[in-house]
Structure 1
Amino acid sequence: MTSSAIIPYPIEPIAALPSDEHLAAVFLNSMAEYGAQLHARRIWLACSGGRDSLALAALCVQLYRQGKLSFLPQMLHVDHGLQADSQHWAAHVAHWAKAQQMPCHILPAQVTGSDEQAARQARYDVMRAYMNQEDVLLLAHHADDQAETVLMRLIQGAGVSGLSGMQPWRVQSQGAHRMVLWRPWLTIRRADISAYARRLKLPYIDDPTNATGDNVRSGLRRDIMPVLAKYNPNVIDNITRSAQLLSDADTTVRAQAVQDLQQTTISSLQQPPVQRVLNVDKLAKLPLYRQRQLLHHWLGQDEPLPPAKQLVDDVLNLSQRSDHNHQTELFWQGRKHAYTIRRYRQQLYRLSSDWLAWLNIPITEQERTLAHIVLPEMSSVDSSPLSINLRTSEDVIWQLQVAPNALVRLLDSHVGEVGHQTALRIRPLDRQQRLKTALSTRPQSGKKLYQTLGMPIWLRESLIVVSMTFLNAETVENEIPILLLSPFDRWILSTDDLAMRTEAQTLAVFIDSHLCSNHTR
């Protein structure tokens, strides 16, 4: 059984047929431009079976057989079942690839949603999952596609980045997985590809949805582009050239934004990608247009699509406020994650919803006898830190790290039975507990302590007190708070008890040198 959408040419080997010099030259020039990046990478070719992708596959076969191409891409065809004949199309593509002795893989996909964007996302997701890390995906997008893309983004209100269109070489990331999208034909006209397909008598699939006008792209192609061509026959080339100029401008803007980001980022509070923090004072010193570009870049980190202009304006207004209201929350649903943007004092935070959920995980009180920590390590030459988990989830671990050798010296100062009952106690900070840090002259608790520490509201449930407990000569338990921890900072605590002061000072040196908190993503 066949499909009426398939151009009725027989499937025959095309390697020996004449190739197109212009299409070949543009492809080979692009390959030379990205030769260093292509080296030692596996190359795949996304092939729907349509005219453009089948023509690109045909050209690769011809150049490979002619010895002008050192690799033959493996074809990937995605069948997401949106068309009644999709299974026939997949079989047709596989049959054509077999006739050219070209490897071909048919990938089934499930589409969540009914629009073209959902189908596109499903295709990329299934191909990315099939490909290896850093592999290259060859795409047949051309100048007409580029012009349609730019117009689509223009009517959606895109900025410089969006109006620069598709890029010939782009690294696409999804979590830890990276692949490269390579588009060598962005300067080629659709008419040139059509002529090449006719000369080769390619039995390509003419998808009927491409001309219905039911989606934005096909509507622009059918209704708008012919009208624009009446005003200027060179409209496609002109829009493509504008996209290239805007791409150059975008590169300049991004470079400035990256430089500004380096100057305004608060490195000690960074936890990419879940928490990113800017210094509001340094942000305010920039010209207004650079503030907007910086916030656009800062918000869009870790996301494939940029934030809306309205969000950038709202965040800019938040950064410019002079009141002390720290309750304002701005929300953004990115493609990968949802985010909350908040301000605390002169710090601007972009917090992922996953990170905020992690900060709400309860902290359990723990107690570890020092002898039990150290004795298993006494005979070992390995002095690597011992880790005590403070809060864990599938993605994030926060640990207290203790150096065994330092604890050996500490135990030596507590001989006999007393030493063996010395322990570290770890528990969440009680709002009523009074503590003295180097930041204040007297013990503080609750709101005053939070303000002294400069602790944002969402981090206050993540304060942990580390205490040392031991028995005195009368076997009465004594507890000395020695360290206050947050996921991003630590404060050595002091005591006004004269009998404990020397002990606390000795312990402070040990803590400062060997005790730290660590969280990883």
Structure 2
Amino acid sequence: MTSLLDPAAERIVLDALGGVLSSVPHDARVGIAFSGGLDSSVLLDAAVRVVGAQRCTALHVHHGLSPNASRWLAHCEATARTLGAGFDVERVDVRRRAGESIEAAARDARYRALDAMCMRQGLCALWLAHHADDQAETVLLQLLRGAGVAGLAAMAPHRVDGAAAIPIPRVRPFLPLLRAQLERYARSRALRWIEDESNADTRYARNALRHDVIPALTVHFPGFRDALARTAAHAASAQRLLDDLAKIDSEAISCEEGAALSREALLALDSARAANAMRWWIRLAGLPAPSAARLAEMLRQLREVRAEHALRIEHAGRCLRLYRDSIHWESIEERVPAADPQTTVAIKEPSVLIWRRQDVWQLPQWRGSLVFVPVAEGEAANDGQIDLNLADTIAEALLESAPLTARARVGGERMRRAPGAPARTLKNLFQEAGVPAWQRDVPLIYLGERLLFVPHLGLNGAFAGAQQPSGSRGARRRLEWRADLLMA
């Protein structure tokens, strides 16, 4: 492409990046979302000039949705190498949930992949090339969809996803700039970029706006981009106030350290505040915002449901459940054992461990691990009696005396909650302990053929405080079940 030197166009773009550079530590590296199109090509080129090539990493997401995807990948990698920037790629499989558009599914997959690459590369921020035209299109789309305040707020210049495991700031330095200004920069720098053929397909809503609606607005309402940008800013300000209110309400209605909500407290709020609090709680759980209709259905069922097990509302791979006035999210993949009334479970294969003083026994089929916590020496009381603190521990020698087996529940298993207590069914003990039915799909740990430990209930009282086979004192372990949240 022929270079048409345009110092003014270059200065506008470089100044936009200079405005966000102050938020980047002097020795930190930034990620550039790089599709290879015009906008991201300008962003990568300008970032290398402003930040330095060694501190820039181009991040490419290979969706596989286009037959040209592999060719685009080769172009992007070659461009990054030519500029001296780092390069990383993530291949994604775009899967749509029920009622979700391919555009939304691809966008969600893209952001997950970009966040993963930022974490892998140790980057301090993710820079995105969205500009004023993109912002105007987003606000228009949200208006036409009847979106709420959060939707009208559109894209923020700077945003941190609080639901992410390691929040990576997403920065959009080009939001004040027009696409035409980016194109002037690209031609001045003789940049080469790729054109996604799907951008011309007006079956997609955004493309229809871009090709059929925006040109007409430009003629009749030339200042519409600035007006829509102000609308987005006003909506963002209003959303911050709603979030502040949701934080206040969540302190009053949350329970179980924020993992659940009290139905009674939630429904004591008026409808608008209850919906706002639910949106906030859903966002904290890392789930996408539900539609207004889905949220209204959640609140309606919460008001009207009588039997706890009757509440089952699916959303984004999770299910809203109710147990003893507490509202929880359950993974749809989880199933309740056959001993419980609602449903059945496919029996998991047993796992066997010959214990040789390992600290952790990973049981991925139950999405968790059994941890053998060493007990500090000297935790025994005088006169040879076991300290109450040791009543839930077991001697290492006993653990080594027979194989440990993790088995699925089949129904009818019994154990003692304390030494000398009567043996009772696990179902009754779970109910007494307030363990929701969908959290009872846990491994039963046997020592030989005797039930030793049950997650959420603890050590079988028949073993509590038991000494090693020889009768002499020795090292002891406390058993703890730790759910692996990354597998949920």
Preserved contact between residue 392 and residue 398 of structure 1 (Cα < 8 Å): no
Can you list the C-alpha shifts for 1:479-521, whole angstroms capped at 9, x where unaligned? 9x9x99652x669979xxxxxxxx9xxxxxxxxxx96744242
Alpha carbons 1:109, 1:122 under 8 Å: kept: no
Q: What is residue 48 of structure 1 aligned with on the other side?
A: 35
Alignment of 1:216-365 (within 5 A): 216-267=205-256, 276-303=259-286, 305-321=288-304, 323-332=306-315, 334=316, 338-356=317-335
Call closer, same or farther: CA 1:361–1:312 in 2, change over 3 Å: farther
Distance, in Å, in 1 between the alignment partners of 2:351 and 2:196 is 63
Residue deviations 1:159-198, cap 9 Å, x none?
A: 2222211222234589756543221111212232233334
Aligned partner letter, 1:265: S
| Equivalent residue letter for 2:313 | L
2:14 paired with 1:24 = yes
Cα pair 2:336 2:439 within 8 Å, conserved: no
Distance 2:47 2:133 in 1: 21
- In structure 2, distance between residues paired with 1:363 and 1:312: 38
Instruction: Look up the equivalent residue of 2:482 and give its one-letter code.
Output: H
Shift of 1:86: 5.6
Amino acid at match of 1:342: R
Question: Which residue number corresponds to residue 469 of structure 2?
Answer: none
| d(CA) in 2 for partners of 1:197, 1:150 | 26
Q: Secondary structure at the match of 1:253?
A: helix
Question: In structure 2, what is the equivalent of residue 403 of structure 1?
Answer: 375
Counterpart Cα distance in 1 of 2:44 and 2:8: 14
Where does structure 1 lack aligned partners over 5 or more consecutive residues? 1-8, 271-275, 378-385, 415-419, 468-478, 495-502, 504-513
Counterpart in 2 of 1:475?
none
CA distance in 1, matches of 2:427, 2:178: 66
Q: Does 1:519 align with 2:475?
A: no
Query: 1:342–1:95: structure 2 CA closer, same or farther, 3 Å change rule?
Result: closer
Point out the more displaced range, 233-242 or 321-330. 321-330
SS at match of 1:105: strand
What secondary structure, in the 3-state scheme, does the structure 2 residue paired with 1:181 have?
strand
Q: CA deviation at 1:352?
A: 1.6
User: What SS class does the counterpart of residue 310 from structure 2 fall into?
Assistant: coil
2: CA distance, partners of 1:116 / 1:11: 34
Q: SS of 1:397's equivalent? A: strand
Partners of 1:79 and 1:129 lie apart in 2 by 13
Letter in 2 for 1:347: S
Unaligned residue ranges in structure 2 (runs of 5+):
96-100, 338-344, 387-396, 467-476
Structure 1 distance, partners of 2:445, 2:72, is: 64
Question: Aligned-pair distance for 1:397?
Answer: 1.8
1:60 corresponding residue in structure 2 = 47
Structure with larger RCO (C-alpha < 8 A, sep 6+): 2
User: 1:144: how far off?
Assistant: 0.7
Q: Distance in 2 between matches of 1:461 and 1:88?
A: 47
2:473 matched residue in structure 1: none
Report the counterpart of residue 136 of structure 1 in structure 2: 125
2:437 to 457, 464, 488: 457
Within 2, Cα distance between the matches of 1:304 and 1:323?
26
Q: Deviations over 1:87-117 (max 9, x none)?
A: 6655655666566x44263747465469445
Q: Distance in 1 between matches of 2:305 and 2:78?
A: 68
- Whichever of the two has the greater Rg, that structure is 1
Deviation of the 1:154 alpha carbon: 3.2
2:165 paired with 1:193: no
**Quick check: 1:300–1:307 contact (8 Å CA) kept in 2?**
no
1:56-205 pair list within 5 angstroms: 56-63=43-50, 73-77=56-60, 101-103=83-85, 105=87, 107=89, 109=91, 112=94, 115-117=102-104, 119-120=106-107, 123-124=110-111, 127-131=114-118, 132-171=121-160, 176=165, 179-205=168-194
Contact kept, 8 Å, 2:90 with 2:117, in 1: the verdict is no
Indicate conservation of the 8 Å contact 1:391/1:399, yes or no. no
Q: Which amino acid aligns with 2:330?
A: L
Report how many aligned residue pairs link the two structures: 447
Amino acid paired to 2:312: E
Q: Which amino acid aligns with 2:12?
A: H
Distance in 2, Cα, partners of 1:27 & 1:431: 66
Which residue of structure 1 aligns with residue 341 of structure 2?
Answer: none
Separation in structure 2 between the aligned mates of residue 147 and residue 305 of structure 1, nearest angstrom: 22
- Supply the distance in 2 between the matched residues of 1:434 and 1:63 (Cα, whole angstroms): 67
Contact 1:11 1:203 in 2 (8 A): no
Q: 1:119 to 1:406 in 2, by over 3 A?
A: same
Q: Check the 8 A contact 1:79/1:106 in 2, yes or no.
A: no
1:193 is paired with a residue whose SS is: helix
